[in-house]
A and B are shown apart, each in its own frame.
Chain A
Amino acid sequence: MTPEPWPAGTGLEVFDEIDSTQSEARRRALVGEIGPTWIVARRQTAGHGRRGRSWHSPVGNLMTTVLLRPEVEIANAPQISFVAALAVADLFERLAPGHCTLKWPNDPLLDGRKAAGVLPDSAGRSDGRLDWLLVGFGVNLATSPDDAPYPTASVAQITGAAPDPDIALTILANAWQRRFDAWQTNGFAAIRTAWLARAHGLQKDVRVQLPNETFTARFEGLDETGALIARLPSGETRLVSAGDVFPVAA
């Protein structure tokens, strides 16, 4: 594996133990840190995911958050989920080639099981743009939780050896920068195409779970905003921007 240099002009802060890299990055953003800075922890005491759900954060996995202040419109911020998921896919392609797919919208899978989590966070300004952006990454390099409500995997399970988190971080930071720059320069269309090339369950049936209804539909693609295009048995199309989507067991 060819070692890559750390991305130029990018900060790095390493903690042996911290509550969570996301919380640390947020504290820094709130006092005006400009970034780009990667916060990384060997161990987290309060790792969390979306809406406060806990995140498995043992030594040996990669727990990191990048802080930056890009010129991004709030309306386009949801696309960051796809940009970040692709960066993790690039990392997995280096560590365990041929095993990674992406579940809508931002779950990187190894052999169909969740192997990483992506957690975007931001603050907006009154001019309709982001003030700051955080993207948290939790990557199962060494181990994965066996008590999660979904199947999980780690790189070590696939390859038989846990990768060095420092090497994984450098690969991820470079991949993120490439994907983010491509998005900023060329827009969402190319990101959407790259994401669809790795889509898990494309053209297959998925179960879409909403608070008051669940339906099964064919996953036909992404619209120009990243919403999942779901084709119902009746032929009607629905767009899913928020909600949980699961593969239907064959």
Chain B
Amino acid sequence: MTTPKKTSIVLPPRMKLPVKTSDAGSAEGDIAFVTTLAHLLEQANVTEIEVERAGLKVRVSRASAAAPQVVYAPAPSAAPAAAAPVAAAPAAKPAAPAETDWAKHPGAVTSPMVGTAYLSPKPGDPAFVQVGDTVKEDQTLLIVEAMKTMNPIPSPKAGRITQIFVVDARPVEYGEVLMIIE
């Protein structure tokens, strides 16, 4: 790869990072942050973004002149299949809800497979659902990609979306809680 050109960019006013500053340093927050940068890379049409924040230095760059890759691979197989990445994060913040609480929630929607989550049908489209939306049973909530197969995840029941844990184009584990529907 040739030496990429570094470019400073400014966040568009309507774009908010889906990661709270307080999440910085957690594995969950770092993954979401990097994923967001990968999206910015695509949308801003630059070759590289470098950000330093709260002791974390991240550089994302395009591998080629082609579209940037925002697909993801799962965590190493050594991790237990049922454990969500957040459970493995060291020293979870006191404010962060424990993973097991959400997993036991009667409205928890869990991932049926290891893969990559997509919140919209294709890049640039609106998200399937947002927090506060009312959904019908069987309505598609998100897509989980595995083996290049796009798998729409249906709502198990009618209700209202109260939590969305997944970030677009980031990996999900088998059994990981994706959303809460109440």
Query: A interface, how many residues as a size bin?
Result: 35 or more
Selected contact of B60 from candidates A74, A120, A211, A237, CB within 8 Å: A211
Among the stretches A10-18, A77-85, A91-99, A108-116, the one at the interface with B is A77-85
User: Which residues of chain A are near B4, meaning CB under 8 Å?
Assistant: none
Which residues of A, 98-136, contact B by the 8 Å Cβ criterion? 105-106, 118, 120-126, 128, 131
Q: Are B66 and A75 in contact (CB under 8 A)?
A: no
The CA-CA distance from A123 to B68 in the complex, in Å, is 28
A-B pairs with beta carbons under 8 Å apart, 15 shown: A79-B147, A118-B148, A120-B148, A126-B138, A126-B156, A211-B71, A227-B77, A238-B77, A239-B77, A240-B73, A241-B73, A241-B74, A242-B71, A242-B145, A242-B146
What size tier do the contact residues of chain B reach?
35 or more
Contact between chains at A123 and B147 (CB < 8 Å)? no
A233: Cβ under 8 A from any B Cβ: no
State in angstroms the CA–CA spacing of A77 and B112 once bound together.
Answer: 10
Other-chain residue from A75, A131, A226 in contact with B112 (beta carbon distance below 8 A): A75
A159 interface residue, CB < 8 Å from B?
no
Contacts of B77 in A (CB 8 A): 223, 227, 237-239
Stretch at the interface among B14-22, B89-97, B113-121: B113-121
- The complex places the Cα of A105 from the Cα of B145 at a distance, in Å, of 12
Partner of B147, one of A81, A124, A209, A210: A81
A149 interfacial contact with B, CB 8 Å: yes
With a CB–CB cut-off of 8 A, which chain A residues contact B152?
122-124
Residue from the list B58, B114, B116, B140 in contact with A227, Cβ < 8 A: B114
Beta-carbon contact of A126 and B154 below 8 Å: yes
Contact (Cβ within 8 A) B38 A212: yes
Contact check, A209 vs B69: say whether CB atoms are below 8 A apart. Answer: yes
Known: A51-B122, A210-B72, A238-B73. A128 touches B112 (CB 8 A): yes
Pairs A-B, 8 closest by C-beta atoms? A52-B122, A243-B73, A78-B147, A78-B146, A242-B116, A124-B154, A75-B112, A239-B77
Q: A123 with B73: in contact, given A52-B122, A214-B63 (CB under 8 Å)?
A: no
Q: Is the CB of A80 within 8 A of B149?
A: yes
Partner of B123, one of A51, A131, A214: A51
Residues on the A chain within 8 Å of B63, using CB = 209, 214
List chain B residues, Cβ under 8 A from A52: 122-124
- The answer for the CA separation of A211 and B122 in the assembled complex, in Å, is 17
Within 8 A of A (CB), among B45-63: 58, 60, 63
Instruction: Report A29 CB to chain B, min CB distance, Å.
Output: 12
Say how far A127's CB is from chain B's closest CB, in angstroms.
9
Closest chain B residue to A75, Cβ basis: B112
Taking CB atoms and an 8 Å cut-off, the chain A residues in 194-243 that contact chain B are 208-212, 214, 223, 225-227, 236-243
Contacts of A105 in B (CB 8 A): 147-148
- Shortest Cβ distance from residue A2 to the other chain B in the assembled complex, whole angstroms: 32
Given the complex, which residues of B lie within 8 Å of A212, measured CB to CB? 34-35, 38, 58, 60
State in angstroms the CA–CA spacing of A124 and B150 once bound together. 11
B182 to chain A, nearest CB (A): 16
Chain A residues near B113 (CB-CB < 8 A): 74-75, 78, 225, 241
Q: Which residue of B lies closest to A212 (CB)?
A: B34
Docked Cα-Cα span, A239 to B140, in Å, equals 27
Is B76 among interface residues, defined by CB-CB distance under 8 A? yes
- Within A147-195, the residues touching B (CB, 8 Å) are 149
Contact of B149 among A78, A149, A211 (CB under 8 A): A78
Is B153 among interface residues, defined by CB-CB distance under 8 A? Answer: yes
Known contacts A78-B151, A149-B64, A214-B63; A242 and B74 CB within 8 A of each other: yes
Q: How far is the CA of A125 from the CA of B139 in the complex (A)?
A: 8
Contact B151–A122 (Cβ < 8 Å)? yes
Q: Whole-angstrom distance from the CB of B94 to the nearest CB of chain A?
A: 28
- Tell me, yes or no, whether A244 is within 8 Å of chain B by CB: yes
Tell me whether A50 is interfacial, beta carbon within 8 Å: yes
Q: Would you call A120 and B69 a contact (CB within 8 A)?
A: no
CB pair A242–B72 under 8 Å, yes or no, is: yes
Residues of A within 8 A of B146 (CB): 78, 225-227, 241-242
